[in-house]
Chain A
Amino acid sequence: MNNVRPLARRLFPAAFGLAAALVLAGCAPAAPAPESGNGAGTPAAATPVAGGTLVYASGDAEPSCLDPHVGGNYPQALVSSQYLETLYTKDAAGELVPWLAQDSTVSADGLTRTVKVRGDIRFTDGTPLTAEAVKANFEHLLDPATASSTGYLALGKIKSMKALDPTTLELKLSTPDNALLESFSMPWVAIQSPAALKRSQEENCAAPVGTGPFKVESWKKQEAVNLVRNEDYKRPVADADHTGPAYLDAITWRFIPEAATRYAALQAGEVQVIDNAQPDTIAAAAKNDTIKHLDAPRPGASNRIELNSSKAPFNDPAVREAFIHAVNVDAGIDSLFFGTAPRSYSPLSSVEPLGFADKSLFDFDPAKTAKLLDAAGWSERDAEGYRVKDGTRLSLTFPVSTSQSIPAEQSLFEQLQATAKESGIEIKINLLDLSSWYGALAKNDYNLVSAPYTKVGPSVLSILFHSDSTIPAPSGYFANLSQVKDPALDKLLDEAGTISEEGKRKGLYIRAQKLVLEGHYLLPLYDQQNHFLYSSKLNNVGSTTAVASPTFFDTWLAK
């Protein structure tokens, strides 16, 4: 065996050259051939047919628990929206509407919230939906043993609760919380059978029991979650086209981590829906008339780069402003995202009705950058052309999480790095795995950072920009990554979170957004990407939950 290794060492360099040649030669014939589209062009007005199994291929991580109370991340929201329902949801117009709830009232002081739940609903294990059942869910979420993160934060202001009668639940709050109904619309606060919640966590993680149009039949790890139709389902979701059970017999929820394989499986007809479609794939699919595209931006915050104002050089507002005018975001988005990501100029997602955008603050203007930096004392240049002040280079560290930034976004960051260099600003991009990335953030070892956050409603602004959010959780993580500590902003956010009059709330949130935009604490990029590609054999794909995960209640499969 020892005599073989040197041989291998001799062979490899030559072989790599040949392989590279093959890569170049292989590109042309390997292009995907058009499909014979027998399912293409199904008329939109066709009559729905019942039956069939939809195969969904997810590129998100496989959840470690199918109960979104445990932890609480987006992969859980995607799958659990098929079998769990929430007290409230959002309709197509973005309006908050009751779902498992009937209505809700709040006391004049904002400290008592009464929720009336519907009396005609049963979980798929036969347990009736009651006020006690909802209470058991909230207790489950607030129990540290459940290890809830997103749901726990959303219900943080609930002090105590009491079922007044079978359908009325009274909640006592520590401070008024006008975002509570929005929180109730999130899948991480979905309502499950209290009988099922009494099982061990392991059992409940494997097959949570809800009220949705589908129910969990089995879960084969690393392969698929098998969902079957809930035959007793009667109530339509918001904006539904029909009543009664869903059309599809079953959904197979598969996990296919590799984007190219996911798309190949869709083209081969092995799966009918894929999520996490990449910009280049979406562009390629647009030429294929058997594949359709659903763009469903997530609510809450936009995708943005935050500027750490707690340390040099961004503790100087002029340097923050200079940076924002130094990078050419539009050019990067145009070339890398194939028109799939419209530019954002707001801290909030474009689906948030209270979002406020100001394009004028984000012009690409190197002349302005130069003027601002000269005035701020960064007037000298070093041998590599970077600006210097008191012997220190104008250099920014930018830890990037490879599991949260898709390849196109990482390329965008590289393009920003290139344009910033022309203004004499150095950006050091560190590609990190998720844990190391959180580690860098906890150590305050960053000047720039891009972190997603999904929450329904503008109250996400309090999570991201209130000075309370600069206090780290035990893990070291804090959500206010730009580290804004502005008493005026805190006051606006506190007031906006507790006020009951909708018009005033809107005004306060708009003023708060103006403060963070004009303070140059963030550089908005685009909406949080939620792109689905699906087979044209599928009809009525598009209805989504409050967090833009697809529902397949109205969906039917053409024969």
Chain B
Amino acid sequence: MNPGTHTQRRRTRITGAASWVLGKVLGGIFVLWAVATAIFFGIRMIPGDPAEAIMGGPGSQASAEALAAARAEYGLDEPLAVQYFTALRRLATGDLGTSYSLKNPVSEVLGELLPPTLTLAVLALLVAWVLALGLAVASTRSGRAGMALASGLEIVSAAVPHFWLASVLIMLFATALGWLPPVSTATGAGLVLPVATLALPLAGFLGQVMRDTLDAAQRSGFALSARARGESEIGVLLRHSLRHAALPGIALSGWAFGSLLSGAVVVEAIFARPGLGRSLLSAVTARDIPLVTGVALVSAAAYVLIMALSDAAEKLADPRMARA
């Protein structure tokens, strides 16, 4: 092989990676801008005056004087376009503003509420992966009946609504058996039921996809040839087939993370757990524009990041994708 071509190929690969990163960053910024814009105009189309939200809600019967003071303080008396560009300029400098309902800086609120939600989402993703892979491996090794049983389990759990699952888990493990607390704090034993609520449907969904791929890989030519080379069943599974099975799972994980964040809204409310989801719910009801925007932006950023990571992981797991 000619050394010149080799360097050239490496350079192409590096500039390829750089432009891939640049593309992801630009795409991410575009998504964040679009989210901020949609929230800014969307929330103003809902009936109700933001100044009322600042003064404690529309039923508060705040005086005209107090409303005017609130409008002036938060710049709500400016034309809409001015408000929009002011908001964008602030966001660009990382200033998320002050929450109307909590009267605290939004960045401070997010700093407090992001960790518990991320803990929940990341743990749920990990647990879902372990369950999905475990079930996939166990079922492909247990024949046709095992496969059918696993498939049925996966379909059911993938379709179970979070709200229903959470209630059943509480009734079973908290009320009837008394093993686990029905309310969850930021960490500890209270994490088990919320994580299970988010992980079970996701595991069903991931497992369904992984098991099909795993089964096909186990029966494919390269598995046969590996076995022919004297590789053990476990060896074939670990060294060859699982890599194939993981690919669709990785691709789905970015998407799954988004669904975990939206699932957190339900789970955090049911288990009375502090977090982004619960604050989003109350912020929307309170017409707390800065807080809604902040939560949406952070969620969008997390989603963009995870999508990029899962894209990168996919490339690493499957070299063919890197060239594509």
Contact = CB atoms under 8 A, between A and B. Distances in A.
B164 to A, nearest CB: 7
Given A23-B164, A435-B47, A258 B159 contact: no
B66 A147 contact: yes
Contacts of A29: 172, 176
Given A144-B69, A221-B102, A18 B269 contact: no
A261 to B, nearest CB: 5
Contact of A435 (B58, B63, B271): B58
A4 B176 contact: no
A532 interface: no
A180 to B, nearest CB: 19
Interface in A1-49: 1, 3-4, 7-8, 11-12, 14-16, 18-19, 22-23, 26, 29-33
A475 interface: yes
A61 B205 CA distance: 35
Given A12-B159, A64-B101, A438-B59, A260 B285 contact: no
Given A16-B159, A223-B274, A438-B48, A257 B269 contact: yes
Contacts of B136: none
Interface string A79-116: 00000000000000000000000000000000000000
Nearest to B249: A4
B56 A474 contact: no
Nearest to B99: A64
B293 to A, nearest CB: 17
Interface in B259-284: 269-272, 274-275, 278-279, 282
A73 B56 contact: yes
Nearest to A201: B103
B167 interface: yes
Interface string B278-297: 11001001110000000000
B87 interface: no
A15 B181 contact: no
A71 B272 contact: no
Nearest to B181: A270
Contact of B102 (A32, A64, A477): A64
A153 interface: yes
Contacts of A397: none
A264 B174 contact: yes
Interface string A143-155: 0110101001100
Contacts of B52: 475
A3 to B, nearest CB: 8
B67 A474 contact: yes
A14 B275 CA distance: 33
Given A255-B272, A260-B170, A435-B46, A145 B60 contact: no
A196 to B, nearest CB: 17
Contact of A261 (B186, B270, B282): B270
B252 A4 contact: yes
Contacts of B128: none
Given A435-B46, A435-B48, A474-B67, A19 B55 contact: no
Interface size for chain B: under 10, 10 to 19, 20 to 34, or 35 or more residues?
A: 35 or more
A475 B112 CA distance: 33
B10 to A, nearest CB: 29
A383 interface: no
User: In this complex, which of B102, B185, B255, B275 has the most chain A Cβ atoms within 10 angstroms of its Cβ?
Assistant: B102
B225 interface: no
Interface string B150-180: 0010011011110010011011101110100
B182 A435 contact: no
A502 interface: no
B19 interface: no
B54 to A, nearest CB: 8
B60 A149 contact: yes
B205 A8 contact: yes
A32 B67 contact: no
A488 interface: no
A71 B60 contact: yes
Interface string B49-80: 10010111111111111110110000000000
B12 interface: no
A265 to B, nearest CB: 5
Contacts of A73: 56-57, 59-60
A434 interface: yes
A265 B171 CA distance: 10
User: In this complex, which of A19, A255, A476 has the most chain B Cβ atoms within 10 angstroms of its Cβ?
Assistant: A19
Interface residues of A, number: 68
B60 A147 contact: yes
Interface string A241-276: 000000000000011111011001101101100000
B60 A64 contact: no
A222 B272 CA distance: 8
A475 B61 contact: yes
A430 interface: no
Contacts of A152: 63
Contact of A475 (B58, B182, B279): B58
Contacts of A222: 113, 274-275, 278-279
A30 B172 CA distance: 6
A149 B171 CA distance: 41
Contacts of B66: 144-145, 147
Nearest to B288: A64
Nearest to B254: A1
Given A22-B160, A64-B101, A264 B175 contact: yes
Nearest to B159: A15
Nearest to A3: B248
A377 B109 CA distance: 60
Interface in B118-159: 152, 155-156, 158-159
A218 interface: no
Contact of A64 (B48, B103, B155, B254): B103
Given A72-B60, A149-B61, A223-B274, A26 B168 contact: yes
Given A19-B156, A71-B56, A264-B171, A145 B61 contact: no
B58 A434 contact: yes
A434 B285 contact: yes
B183 interface: yes
A464 interface: no
B209 interface: yes
A10 to B, nearest CB: 10
A130 to B, nearest CB: 28
A202 B109 CA distance: 14
Nearest to A258: B270
Contact of B56 (A7, A147, A271): A147
Interface string B85-127: 0000000000000000111100001001100000000000000
A30 B175 CA distance: 9
10 contacts: A18-B155, A29-B176, A32-B175, A65-B103, A149-B62, A257-B269, A257-B272, A265-B174, A435-B285, A479-B61
Interface of B: 46-49, 52, 54-67, 69-70, 101-104, 109, 112-113, 152, 155-156, 158-161, 164, 167-168, 170-172, 174-176, 178, 181-183, 185-186, 205, 208-209, 248, 251-252, 254-255, 269-272, 274-275, 278-279, 282, 285-287
Q: Lowest 3 A-B CB distances belong to which pairs?
A: A15-B159, A71-B56, A439-B47
